[in-house]
Amino acid sequence: MNNWLGARAVQQYDGLLEDIVKNLLVRLLDVSDDSEPFEKTKHEFFLAMASSTFRLAYGYQLENDHDPFFLNAVQAGHNVLYASMINSALYHYIDRFPGLTIEKCADFLVNVFPTLAYVPDWLPGTGWKNTARKWREHKKYAVDAPYEWAKKQVASGEFEASILSRLLQDQQVEQGLSTMDQENELKELAYIIFAAGTDTSATGLMNFVAAMVANPEAQAKAQAEVDSVLGNASRLPTISDETQMPYVRNLIHEVLRWHPVAPTGGAPHACYQDDVYRGYDIRKGTIMVGNIWAMSRDESIYKDPDAFDPDRFSDQKIPPAPAFGWGRRKCPGMHFAKATLFLAIASLLATFHFSRKEDKDGNEIVPIIEGSVNSITVPIKAFEFELRPRSNRHRHFILERISSN
DSSP structure class, residue 390: S
Torsion sign (Cα): 22, 62, 143, 140: positive
Radius of gyration of the chain (CA): 23
**Residue 271 annotated in ligand binding:** no
Residue 162 exposure: Cα atoms within 13 Å on the Cβ side: 30
Q: Residue 59: left if φ>0, alpha if ψ -120 to 50, beta else—which one?
A: left
> How far, in Å, are 149, 171, 249, 272 from residue 62 at the CA level?
13, 28, 29, 40
Determine contact, residues 168/147, Cβ cutoff 8 Å: no
The burial class, CB within 10 Å (0-12 / 13-18 / 19+), for 51 is buried
Cβ count within 10 A of residue 85: 19
Q: Which residues participate in the annotated binding site?
A: 331
Binding-site residue set for heme? 331
